[in-house]
Amino acid sequence: MICRKSNAKRIRRGAMLPMVAVVMIILIVGAVFTVDIAYMHMVRAELRTATDAAARAGAETLARTQDREQAITAAINIAAQNKVSGDGLILRRSDIQVGGVRENDGKFEFLADSQPFSSVRVVGKRTADSASGPVNLFFGPLLGQSNFQPIQSATATSSVRDIALVLDVSGSMQRRDAGDGKTRNQALIDAVNVFIDEIEQSSPNSAISVTTYSTNASRDLALTSNLNTVRQVVNGIGARGFTNIFQGLRFGSDSLEQDRNRRPFAERTIIVMTDGNFNVGGNPLPSADVAVRRGHSIHTVTFSGGANQSIMRQVAQRGGGIHLHADDASDLNEAFRNIAKTLSVLLVE
């Protein structure tokens, strides 16, 4: 009798082993899918950002130079500066079309080779036949799928824009490590003046508000098209306190949404600059979400090695904008100049 019971236990134990093995396989496969699916979503977002930036740069160059070839070259160059799966996006000239747009039932329709030229359409690809090639998966080969091949397209044309500058004036901006003996704050003032110079040339119909933030945020200037007034306000900013990016971004969004000077048909864009990490006020992502729900796009600029590039890149991605990093004053000038160049155009696809 005892022997029969012992045998029965061994049989039951033996019968469970295949079930445990099957469950383990299912769990492993699920984990594999989760990692690769998350990676695919991230790469698609990066491809969208790179494609949008290329279309904007192409349309801005087209509007400024009236030269089709220069517009195509600008789109290619900006795409290469935006990483997709760790590498800059490589565009062929055949990936870029120049033409015009027309409104059709409340939507914009791109018309390739239609003159007068006002718009640029970019098709960003990470496919087997693209210049950058497909995106390799981590665990896909175990399941017979070694890569995936995303495609994104974007069309940009001219626009009228309201812009909120959201500038970090926390205490770390007093540090004199920006190069050429400048403090970070002095470098920021110079870079914003470069930004205004570019806006005057490429987007003369733009209006700008100024928000500064440290421990708390301050709305220093309501929306105005008087760019000399913007210069005066920016030239007077000083550094103090902690870093409340959350409130700065919210105030900047409010200036576009609630300002008495806001223009109902203007595109609305926020540019957030920081040299550090949020240490008061909380994570800025919820403020970015509010701005996105209001229809605002967001570009971000990080300055110095201590800036939280990861979180500000996420802010820009949620806001459909670009993130640029600057190590010194020269880089900061170039970052603000490049963003200004994209603001004279409107994404319509």
Q: Name the helix (H) or strand (E) containing 230.
A: helix 227-235
Give yes or no: residues 141 and 80 share one domain: yes
Summarised one tens digit per residue, pLDDT across range 272-311 is 999 999 999 999 999 999 999 999 999 999 999 999 999 9
How high is the pLDDT of residue 71?
Answer: 93
The CA distance from 209 to 169, in Å, is 16
Q: Domain boundary residue among 130, 157, 184?
A: 157
Give yes or no: residues 76 and 182 share one domain: no
Q: Is 2 contained in some domain?
A: no
CA Rg, the chain, in Å?
Answer: 25
How high is the pLDDT of residue 4?
Answer: 54
Nearest residue to 166 (alpha-carbon basis) of 119, 135, 209, 127: 209
Give yes or no: residues 139 and 278 share one domain: no
Q: Is 10 contained in some domain?
A: no
The CA distance from 109 to 133, in Å, is 29
Range of the domain at 186: 161-347
Look at the chain and report how many structural domains it folds into. 2
Q: Give the sheet arrangement for strand 323-326, strand by strand.
A: 217-224, 207-213, 161-168, 267-274, 297-303, 323-326
Q: Is 128 contained in some domain?
A: yes
How high is the pLDDT of residue 64?
Answer: 76
Q: Domain boundary residue among 142, 157, 172?
A: 157
C-alpha angle 171-323-57 in degrees, rounded to nearest 5: 130
Give yes or no: residues 41 and 118 share one domain: yes
How high is the pLDDT of residue 100?
Answer: 85
Whether 332 contacts 182, CB under 8 Å: no
End-to-end Cα spacing for the chain: 78
Q: Is 95 contained in some domain?
A: yes
Give yes or no: residues 335 and 272 share one domain: yes
- Check residue 222 and report its DSSP letter: E
Annotate 129-179 with DSSP letters as a single string. Answer: TSSS-PEEPSSGGGGT--EE--EEEEEEEE--EEEEEEEE--GGGG-S-SS
Give yes or no: residues 130 and 279 share one domain: no
At 29, the pLDDT band (50, 70, 90 cuts) reads low
Q: Is 320 contained in some domain?
A: yes
How high is the pLDDT of residue 8?
Answer: 52
Summarised one tens digit per residue, pLDDT across range 137-194 is 877 776 677 889 999 999 998 766 899 999 999 999 999 999 989 999 999 999 999 9
Cis peptide bond upstream of 286, omega within 30: no
How high is the pLDDT of residue 30?
Answer: 59
Nearest residue to 232 (alpha-carbon basis) of 210, 251, 217: 210
